[in-house]
């Protein structure tokens, strides 16, 4: 009986030691905070910038995706950019059929695709490509076409200016 108790004690000690080793190994946070749009561009090689005169928080995700979060009036906005063809909106819900339109991006023009959903308070999603970089701007909540257009144009101008 005493021998079985020792074995059980040894087994429990080993299990506790292994458990503390596993707990010590933390999963790295895929979101790395950046101080500015310039830091994001330096890390990724392409610009991710909020409209002029708008305070933003910048993050690099998994070393491949840049993100800027900002507010325009009461509207929360998220801009993501990455070298990918995959959907980077972060929204996994049914969207409206896409509508495309040409918009100015600095001295160039880009084809911007608009989709929307009414789920969870509504989202407007604007996607475009500059070379091999996909940009995706998500407006959280309801925005008039005029306000949404100003935000999209502001982001297009900010990113185009950063590329020059």
Tell me if the pTM is above 0.85: no
Pick 31-163's CATH classification: 3.40.1000, 2.60.40, 1.10.3470, 2.40.10: 3.40.1000
Alpha helix ranges (H) inside 2-58: 2-24, 37-44
For the residues of 98-156, what is the DSSP string, one character each?
A: PEEEEEEETTEEEEEEEEEE-GGG-EEEEEEEETTEEEEEEEES---HHHHHHHHHHHH
Share of the chain above pLDDT 90, in %: 70
Cα–Cα nearest to 155, from 132, 133, 126, 121: 126
Q: How many CB atoms lie within 10 A of CB 61?
A: 16
Q: How many CB atoms lie within 10 A of CB 48?
A: 29
For 38-97, write each residue's pLDDT tens digit: 999 999 999 999 999 999 999 999 999 999 999 998 899 999 999 999 999 999 999 999
Tokens of 41: 């561009």
Q: Where are the domains of the chain?
A: 31-163
Q: What is the pLDDT of residue 160?
A: 83
Distances (CA, A) of 56 to 34, 62, 71, 110, 127: 10, 19, 8, 24, 19
Distance of alpha carbon 153 from alpha carbon 77, whole angstroms: 13
């Amino acid at each position: 009986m005493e021998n079985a108790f020792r074995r059980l004690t040894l087994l429990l000690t080993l299990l506790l030691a292994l458990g503390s080793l596993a707990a010590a190994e933390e999963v790295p946070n895929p979101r790395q905070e950046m101080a500015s749009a310039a830091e994001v561009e330096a890390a990724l090689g392409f610009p991710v910038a909020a409209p002029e005169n708008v305070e933003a928080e910048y993050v690099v995700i998994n070393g491949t995706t840049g993100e800027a979060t900002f507010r325009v009036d009461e509207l929360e906005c998220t801009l993501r950019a990455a070298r990918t063809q995959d959907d980077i909106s972060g929204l996994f819900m049914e969207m409206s059929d896409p509508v495309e339109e040409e918009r100015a991006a600095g001295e160039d023009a880009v084809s911007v695709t608009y989709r929307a959903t009414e789920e969870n308070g509504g989202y407007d999603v604007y996607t475009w490509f500059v070379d091999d970089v996909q940009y995706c701007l998500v407006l959280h909540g309801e925005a008039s076409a005029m306000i949404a257009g100003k935000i999209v144009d502001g982001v297009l101008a900010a990113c185009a200016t950063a590329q020059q």
